[in-house]
Amino acid sequence: MKKKVVLAHDMGTSADKAVLVTVTGEILDAVTMHYPLSHPQPTWAEQNPEDWWNAVGATTRAVLRRARVKPEDVVAVIFSSQTQVLVPLDGGGKPLRPAMSWLDSRSAEILREELWKAPRVMGYNLPRLLRYIRVTGGSPGQTGKDQIGKILWLRRHEPDVFRQAAKFVDAKDYINFRLTGSLCTSVDIAYLWWFMDSRRMRNRWDPKLCRLAGIAPDRLAEIRESVAVAGRITREAARHTGLAQGTPVVNGCGDLAASALGSGALGDGELFLNLGTSGWVAGHASNRKIDIPHYTGCIGSAWPRKYYLGMAHQETAGVCLEWLKNKVLYHEKQLKKESRVGSVYEILDRLAEKAGPGAGGLMFTPWMFGERCPIDDEFARAGLYNIGLNHSREHMVRAVFEGIAFNSRWAMETIEAMYGRVPKLNFTGGVAQSDVWCQIIADVTNREIHRVSNPQQAGARGIALLASLAMGYIESFEAIANHIKINRIFRPNPSHRQLYDRLFREYRNLHRQNKGWFRRMNKA
């Protein structure tokens, strides 16, 4: 008997990954296709939605062919995606301009002028902040990366686009629309737009909050649960992807909620760490809380009766190592010449291991495009500190590993201050493939690190199991955790405790001591 499968797409910032997963969570095959992210100006970050669509078609056809899966054996299609990506559509559903990425912070000044007007408390207009917290359970930040800022920017700088936009949608929802002809969004993504009334799980657009952006609720997509069937593959989409016409497309969720499902940390107060291009510490909870100074709190999840706990989002994580590898040390082909055995990342692991704990006093801050949590500061930037003639590339690689671990600890402690200490973190994302990095994170955080199997595919597995639930192959949300396996546990090394505690204190001091300098250097 042939296996029934779910086609799960992980549509990230740099690539779309099509993953075939059985209805019980077994990963069969995956195909990835990259697309560009452009930076026309220093604080801008844009993508062409057509690049996403082309990648979805190419990866779908390739993974079906490579795994020898017939289109009729695909029981559902589901997407997770990058979030807070603004795509303005005309009345015919066509993008009016390049999509504004979640990394785009061009609207920071407009937010201060039009939303967070004086008088301010910690940079926020207090009456508006209190309304946001009461209605949504959270608030837009001050970095200019939230959707309201992007919409306000369009209204001022591209008024024709603003006027012609019939709908403003996010990345996943645009692709679902191209596949089905139906337009909707999921609760978790709507939550992050900060226009949604989340009190008592009402999950509907709030007209007064929409007015702050100068739009009406009908210019936003209908809000539906992640397990809802958004529509079915159209004839045109079937030709583009190779899927069978009529295949159900489940609404899906953003990458944050997907990784939570795929981490297996589904119980109240359980936390997980995800480190890929960006990173976050999160989990699920029944009650919502918020920590505005650290831009941390509860948002919507793919689980209708749960909140997504402590969304401590870090803007740049694994991408920092990519930057170091490609733009400072050397390119992948050059790296491979140095070793006949092992991948590029195994070589980088060996370099980091050789440097030893503390990187010889070298320290790295991973704020390469500003930061949200643990600091809400769009002006902060990355840096290598305390460089001496004694330092080598081994120390630089180790410093990047440790800097991201320090940032993760800071984010974790921010959440623990709200909900209580946890003994372990489930670990997902591409960074989790590195044994050396896993051990460093265990040592820095002083927590057990439980790495899930196939950690780089955790989000895809999570949404595939969500689609299995939607199609009736899994009986409950709680049962999703039964299909998530831990492949290794990393325990903290007590001999590194004193060193890493001291370095962590100095890491936090770096932002406090340089905050004003960052602002002077990077304010437009």
Residues 6+ apart with CB under 8 A from 402: 358, 359, 363, 364, 440, 444, 503
SS percent in the chain: helix, strand, coil, step 5: 45, 25, 30
Report yes or no on whether pTM surpasses 0.85.
Answer: no
Please state the rounded mean pLDDT for residues 279-288.
77
CA 406/CA 443 separation, integer angstroms: 10
Domain ranges of the chain: 314-457+485-522
CA 18/CA 322 separation, integer angstroms: 22
Determine contact, residues 5/74, Cβ cutoff 8 Å. yes
Residues 6+ apart with CB under 8 A from 10: 16, 17, 19, 80, 81, 255, 258, 457, 459, 460, 463
Higher model confidence: residue 429 or residue 495? 495
Determine contact, residues 368/382, Cβ cutoff 8 Å. yes
| C-alpha distances out from residue 521 to 338, 380, 430, 515, Å | 38, 9, 32, 10
Determine contact, residues 61/145, Cβ cutoff 8 Å. no
Lowest pLDDT segment from 226-230, 370-374, 509-513: 370-374
CA 256/CA 271 separation, integer angstroms: 13
Note the pLDDT tens digit of each residue in 158-217. 999 999 999 999 999 999 999 999 999 999 999 999 999 988 778 999 999 999 999 999
- Which pLDDT does position 61 carry in this prediction? 98
- Which pLDDT does position 174 carry in this prediction? 98
- Which pLDDT does position 1 carry in this prediction? 42
- Which pLDDT does position 322 carry in this prediction? 81
- Which pLDDT does position 270 carry in this prediction? 87
Across all residues in the chain, what is the average pLDDT? 90
Binning pLDDT at 50, 70 and 90, where does residue 306 land? confident
Per-residue tokens: 89: 């559509």
Residue 111, pLDDT > 90, answer yes
Binning pLDDT at 50, 70 and 90, where does residue 137 land? confident
Determine contact, residues 6/75, Cβ cutoff 8 Å. yes
Determine contact, residues 373/414, Cβ cutoff 8 Å. yes
Three-class SS of 357-384: CCHHHCEEECCECEECCCCCECCCCCEE
Higher model confidence: residue 369 or residue 90? 90
* Amino acid in the structure at residue 118: A
Please state the rounded mean pLDDT for residues 391-406.
94
CA 209/CA 459 separation, integer angstroms: 31
Residues 6+ apart with CB under 8 A from 225: 186, 187, 251, 304
Three-class SS of 405-457: HHHHHHHHHHHHHHHCCCCEEEEECHHHHCHHHHHHHHHHHCCEEEEECCHHH
- Which pLDDT does position 414 carry in this prediction? 84
| C-alpha distances out from residue 124 to 18, 103, 467, 511, Å | 41, 21, 40, 20
- Which pLDDT does position 162 carry in this prediction? 98
Residue 326, pLDDT > 80, answer no
HSE at residue 33, side-chain half, CA atoms within 13 A, is: 15
Determine contact, residues 282/308, Cβ cutoff 8 Å. yes
- Percent of the chain at pLDDT exceeding 90: 70
CA 395/CA 119 separation, integer angstroms: 46
- Which pLDDT does position 341 carry in this prediction? 47
Note the pLDDT tens digit of each residue in 12-57. 998 999 999 999 999 999 999 999 999 999 899 999 999 999 999 9
- CATH superfamily entry for domain 314-457+485-522: ATPase, nucleotide binding domain (3.30.420.40)
Note the pLDDT tens digit of each residue in 408-435. 999 898 888 877 889 999 999 889 999 9
Determine contact, residues 439/490, Cβ cutoff 8 Å. yes
Binning pLDDT at 50, 70 and 90, where does residue 305 land? confident
Higher model confidence: residue 331 or residue 103? 103
For residue 288, how many other CB atoms are within 10 A of its CB? 18
What are the backbone angles phi and psi of residue 120, rounded to the nearest 5°? -115, 150
